[in-house]
Chains A and B, each alone.
Chain A
Amino acid sequence: MIEKAIFYFFAAVLLLAATLVVTARNPVHSALSLVLAFFSSAALWLLIEAEFLGIALVLVYVGAVMVLFLFVVMMLDINLSVMREGFARYLPLGVLVGLVMVLQMLLVIGAGVVDLVPEEQVAAAGALDGNNIRLLGSVLYTVYVYPFELAAIVLLLAIIAAIMLTHRRRGDTKHQDIAAQVRTRKADRLRMVRMPSERDSDS
């Protein structure tokens, strides 16, 4: 009973925060609402005893990604009012289309009896005991080693593509070439000039 109440509370906060992410005028408010949304879903995960996922979500998304995100949003100073033009005008149509789609899916699914989760699997999931970090750890590098390694290559690809698309050597930046600085010789910097020495002619 109390668990259900907690679930509905966090679910309501999550939905509210998610709505705020897309409706808030100020991008900083959007980012902060996203933090709230992540936090609420982490709480939901904790409720179904997936502690590891919940903690990872807080650590990785709230702790690292969103801080970076906020940083970027504050630095960029985007004027979103231009992008939002027509938002109110298209809103009713968008809501209508979304509602119709949800309704259609419900009609299809609701027309027949759908047994979402087979009973025996719920029982099997309940039989696994507690510590899900141990469970994850025991399958990640064994049963799921193939997709896990492939995911690593996808990350490598993301790094390569991002660097390739953003990095270029610009002519107008001043950067130090340490090796060139160390290699330099006297002849490169010092020019010996022969000129007549000056004398005080007055004295």
Chain B
Amino acid sequence: MNFEMPQFAMAAPEIWLGVMLCVVLIADLFDRSQQSRLAFFLTQVTLLGAIGLALSTHWGVDRAITFNGMYVSDSLAAVLKVTVAGLSMVTLGYSRDYLRQRDLLKGEFYLLALIANLGMFVMASASSLLVLYVGLEMLSLSLYAMVAFDRDSRIGAEAAMKYFVLGALSSGMMLYGMSMIYGASGSLLIDTIATQAAAGDNLLLMAFGMTFALVGVAFKFGAAPFHMWLPDVYQGAPTSATAFLGTAPKIAALALFLRLLVDGLGDLHDQWQAMAVLLAVGSLAVGNLFALVQTNFKRMLAYSTISHIGFLFLGLIAGTPEGYSAALFYAISYGIMASGAFGMIILLSRRGFEAEMIDDMRGLNDRHSGFALVMLLLMFSMTGIPGTVGFYAKWLVLQSLIDTGMVWLAVVAVLFAVIGAFYYLRVLKAVYFDRLESPVPLEAPAGQRVIVALNGGVILLLGLFPDRLIEICRIALGL
């Protein structure tokens, strides 16, 4: 095997993260304050730096490859990395207060988040099955630890255990599929696999491996029927971990899909399309119907995640660059919405009390009209009402579906979206129309108020002027 010197500068975001996580690890030891201020500050600076580096090294690059074909740098990587790091910054900002109230504020939480980010970055620009898998494990392992972060919580330990066992199972599935793909193509490099798939060698074995890989991806997404872990983990994990787990890793799962099944096995699209239709319709049905009966807000959000994943898969099913860019847009807007929703739970909770039931939202408008307004925007956006970013996300996906002639699927999706409106609006009913006898004014630290306001503002702003983001997503997919 010929070795050529890698262009290290191309992997600047990963190298930066790798170096800085060691710095945070050491710096946290010498931080005497009880609240890990230094670790928090350094983590945010690191993520901000990573965003800058990802933009400067990847944006506008036309698929450059280094590290002997294992690392790819293109605009898609830039968009994915910026989104992942940005969402992590927001969710870590939200979770600070939550952790402080529960005496969980330790530097390790930020450290785990940083390593998870590194894993997601690695996946976003992986061009080899081996690198893809190592990135995935780096992400998953840190997420398991974050879910188990509150050691004294029984339900947290149970959630972590379930997540760990099912995550290991899905990793096993994916690894098995990857080994079959390797057997069929004789290479770990995505580019070589793509040429082999295009040439049509060993298609049967490749499709066999692809099936298992798709199952693994669906597990990581939480698409039905591989969604069983999602509600329990969302509910059991500390909300700060749920907020992190429910946002950035979904972008990483999309990265996994795009790199493995589009870059690598794009030529097998005909074969994975039918399976993806099953996943999409299943997720839409399970997510929306089960969410209807939930009284626990965190569980409801978990099922709503499943339904959103179903919508995201619709964009992937279309199989056109337009469809992929619609899916990317959907994932980004979902990340913004989900971080806001979990942020609201964190905001309403206080020491010894988790505001996780829908009933806990009652009379929010009387307690703080600003937060109620953000809640309104979030729920409208998740429903897909015009004026919010969620509308354009759904619209783009449906458009790409109809363009490829799958009208029936679009009709099914819209039907389920209407069902979904019920449970989102039920939350708003609690917020605006249910009255408390003596509403206690809601107080939150200034930092938290700023993030919530920003989060709501972005949803509204992107809902009114989505053109820039749509354009960015199109450029990322080479349109």
Contact = CB atoms under 8 A, between A and B. Distances in A.
Interface in B45-103: 67-68, 70-71
A171 interface: no
Given A143-B1, A158-B141, A165 B148 contact: yes
A161 B112 contact: yes
B135 interface: yes
A31 B472 CA distance: 55
B205 A146 contact: no
Interface stretch (B126-134, B435-443, B456-464): B126-134
B142 A161 contact: yes
B108 interface: yes
B417 interface: no
B350 interface: no
A157 B134 contact: no
Given A153-B115, A153-B138, A142 B25 contact: no
B135 A150 contact: yes
B61 to A, nearest CB: 18
B18 interface: yes
B122 A143 contact: no
B205 A147 contact: no
Q: Is the interface of B mostly helix, strand, loop or mixed?
A: helix
A142 to B, nearest CB: 4
Contact of A139 (B1, B108, B148, B202): B1
B155 interface: no
Interface string B1-20: 10100100001000000100
Contacts of B70: 146-147
Nearest to A139: B1
Interface residues of A, number: 32
Interface in B298-313: none
Interface stretch (A8-16, A76-84, A86-94, A106-114): A106-114
A117 B144 CA distance: 37
B128 A160 contact: no
Interface in B257-286: none
B29 interface: no
Contact of A143 (B3, B149, B183): B3
Contacts of A109: 204-205, 208
Contact of B106 (A147, A157, A161, A164): A164
B132 to A, nearest CB: 10
A146 B71 contact: yes
B25 A151 contact: no
A168 B151 CA distance: 10
Contacts of A158: 141
Given A147-B70, A160-B108, A160-B111, A142 B3 contact: yes
A118 interface: yes
B360 interface: no
Interface in A159-180: 160-161, 164-165, 168
Nearest to B67: A146
A158 B145 CA distance: 9
B145 A161 contact: yes
B217 interface: no
A157 B1 contact: no
Contacts of B183: 116-117
Candidate in A116, A117, A143 with the most chain B CB atoms within 10 angstroms: A143
B131 A147 contact: yes
A139 B108 CA distance: 34
A146 B208 contact: no
B186 interface: yes
A149 interface: yes
A116 B202 CA distance: 8
Contacts of B118: 153
A154 B6 contact: no
Contacts of B158: none
A164 B150 CA distance: 10
A112 B204 contact: yes
B149 to A, nearest CB: 8
B50 to A, nearest CB: 15
B145 A154 contact: no
Nearest to A146: B67
B6 A157 contact: no
Nearest to A142: B3
Given A143-B3, A153-B18, A165-B148, 5 more contacts: A146-B71, A147-B70, A149-B18, A154-B141, A161-B141
Interface of A: 105, 108-109, 111-118, 121, 139, 142-147, 149-151, 153-154, 156-158, 160-161, 164-165, 168
A-B pairs with the 8 shortest C-beta distances? A161-B145, A142-B3, A112-B204, A146-B67, A164-B108, A150-B134, A143-B68, A157-B115
30 contacts: A105-B208, A108-B208, A109-B204, A111-B204, A112-B204, A113-B204, A114-B205, A121-B186, A143-B68, A145-B67, A146-B11, A146-B71, A149-B18, A150-B122, A150-B131, A150-B135, A151-B134, A153-B118, A153-B138, A154-B134, A156-B115, A157-B112, A157-B138, A160-B111, A160-B112, A160-B115, A161-B141, A161-B145, A164-B149, A165-B145
